[in-house]
Chains A and B, each alone.
Chain A
Amino acid sequence: MTRPGFTVWLTGPPCSGKTTLGLMLREELARRGVGAAHLEGSQVRASLGPELGFSRQDRHTANLRAAWVAGQLNQAGAACVVSAIAPFADTRRELRAALGQYVEVFLDCPLEQLVNRDRRGLYARALAAGGTDFTGLGSPYEAPEDPEMHCLTGRETPEESLGKILAYLELARLVPPAASQAAPQPADERGGEGAYSAEEEAALTARLKDLGYL
């Protein structure tokens, strides 16, 4: 069965867990036979926008360039996981419009915890420098109002957040369930488009018979 390409965009302030989760997600997708690339925000900037700074316009441009790459991958049938702050609601609206199958995941974590878990010292350096360009300090992070998935990374382990994202992707039929990897089901009778697995369908049929409906 050919599944469509899709993009999972992990958005959230610095140190909210985007890269960690992005890499975990890419690995799990590969385990399930879904080819996926991972685009990390700072690496994308280094390759595709070394001239860009951190003004609102430049951040917007950097995100759209990453989206263009993701879109190309999606068109080729591959998934793309993007770990990039994408702090502005307007930008994210454009990302959604530009990418056919766009799954926005908001990594939400209180500022205090972000600062505490900052092993690279990003917040400390930014605070020392006045923090004017730093997202969440001098530069705003506009929290998504309606993401496909909201992960509370201050409370959840990365594995828990990963599980939630995968559950969503399974539900949206973008990735196969893990179980079907271990014990492949025969192609269901709908050419793979059905809501129910063969086992679920058998159980539901039994339920309908028990109720006297069939």
Chain B
Amino acid sequence: MPNLGAILSQGASAGLTSSLPTVSTVAWTSYMTGVNPGKHGVFGLVERHPDPFSVIIPSSLDIKAPTLWEMLGRGGVPVGVMNVPMTFPPKKVNGFMVSGFLSPDLSQATYPVELAPRLMEMDYRIEADVALAASEPDFFLAELGEALSRRFKSAFQLMREGQWEFFQLHLTGPDHINRLYWDAWEEGGEKSGQRLAEFYRLLDGYLGELTEQLPQGCPLVLIGGFGMTRARGTVYLNQWLESNGYLLFGKGKKELKNLHSDSKAYSLIPGRIYLNLEGREQKGTVAPGRPYEDLREELIHRIGGLEHPETGDPLVAKVHRREELYSGPQLSRAPDLVVEPAQGFEIKANLGMSGLVAPPERKGCPSRSDALFYISGIKEGLRPGPHRLEDMAPTLLGLLGLNPPPSLEGESLL
């Protein structure tokens, strides 16, 4: 990727620690609010309402803290925001916004609404068609490339036409393709290697064009919300809870809605454990106080020691109590325990699985420790680490001459 190489040689970069759980909804909400999930209120790809029990997909309406673009707008900075996860439904900004990942359709995904027909004229797509991602890889690759091209071309046009001082373009293609073909980085499988190379060649071409399109003196910032690593296996936590007597179901369908009142705990993806707490859960029977703490202690000990049944490799890096990870007014909505997987393992919550661990469903999986920040025009002088995703909002506010509000938790890298 010669263009990316040239960009990186002209600036400074630093590693960041991503959110836990390491999924795009949590990571990008932590990025855009500069606070932890205990304050912004997004804890996973799905959220649950305990009583009556239901599972929903969170949206921008669930974010309980001001976002970067709201803070920029209040400071008089015009913004353009494209395709960032967790921005649907789009909110009013000082500029324009195109919602991204998990937007139902483009007609509902823009602020102002009249931007939608213009994007349709540009053939903009929110997402590639992912239905055939696993079964038709060549088709999917073509889809990803097409979506990437349209995204960049639309962004270039809006950059030329719009009034902005902050413009963010989010790319989801690398996440999708890395999950599918990560093995090609390490093993160079002929077919998948070609696919990976083809996608990144296309991306590199657009990065080159991006540097030409930027106004004179405009800094370029690249942020990776989390890293990727080789997937080693999928861990089914509810399977473990069920087979060890912590999770029971009533008569009928095996689903969390049908939890038996004797249950002690259940899990939601990825690695979030909720105790069946009396007074909170629909059929809660675990008493608060000592019984709750004793059960958490027991689960921390037992789940923390889980090993791969065949290789003996540890499956879990650490089990965290919620208050060890999060703080803020949304803490009561957080899972009681958060299981941080060992590198390369993904923790899922599927029910009815036959074993604790299965071979990975995809070749790559998220890695918390290697999110990334890069800024052009500065060779050195970044604040020494460790750095985390919450540092991005104050960094970008500072870059645009605004003082970060004291409620932000991160610290500028500049």
Residues of chain A having any CB pair with chain B under 8 Å: 146, 148-150, 164, 167-168, 170-171, 189-190, 193-197, 200-201, 203-208, 210-214
Contact = CB atoms under 8 A, between A and B. Distances in A.
Interface stretch (B57-65, B309-317, B394-402): B57-65
A195 B114 contact: no
A170 B90 CA distance: 12
Interface of B: 23, 45-46, 49, 54-57, 59-61, 88-90, 92, 94, 102, 104, 107-108, 112-114, 127, 130-134, 176, 179, 269, 348, 361-362
Nearest to B61: A195
A190 B56 CA distance: 8
Contacts of B127: 207
Nearest to B62: A195
Nearest to B349: A214
16 contacts: A146-B94, A149-B113, A164-B113, A171-B90, A189-B49, A190-B54, A194-B56, A195-B59, A195-B61, A196-B57, A197-B104, A200-B104, A204-B57, A207-B131, A208-B45, A212-B361
A190 B92 CA distance: 23
A154 B36 CA distance: 48
Contacts of B59: 194-196
Nearest to B54: A189
Nearest 9 interchain pairs by C-beta: A195-B59, A189-B54, A200-B104, A212-B362, A210-B130, A167-B113, A212-B361, A195-B61, A195-B89
B89 to A, nearest CB: 5
Contacts of A190: 49, 54, 56
Given A164-B113, A196-B104, A200-B104, A211 B89 contact: no
Contacts of B45: 208, 213-214
Residue of B54, B57, B92, B112 most packed against chain A (CB within 10 A)? B57
A148 B102 CA distance: 24
Nearest to B180: A212
B108 A212 contact: no
B134 A204 contact: no
A195 B92 contact: no
A150 B102 contact: no
A210 B114 contact: no
Given A190-B49, A201-B56, A207-B127, A214 B108 contact: no
B112 A149 contact: yes
Given A203-B104, A204-B57, A204-B102, A211 B113 contact: no
Nearest to A171: B89
B107 to A, nearest CB: 8
A164 B176 CA distance: 34
Nearest to B231: A212
A211 B176 contact: yes
Given A150-B112, A164-B114, A204-B104, A211 B133 contact: yes
B266 to A, nearest CB: 16
Contacts of A210: 130-134
A205 B55 CA distance: 11
Given A201-B56, A204-B104, A214-B45, A195 B88 contact: yes
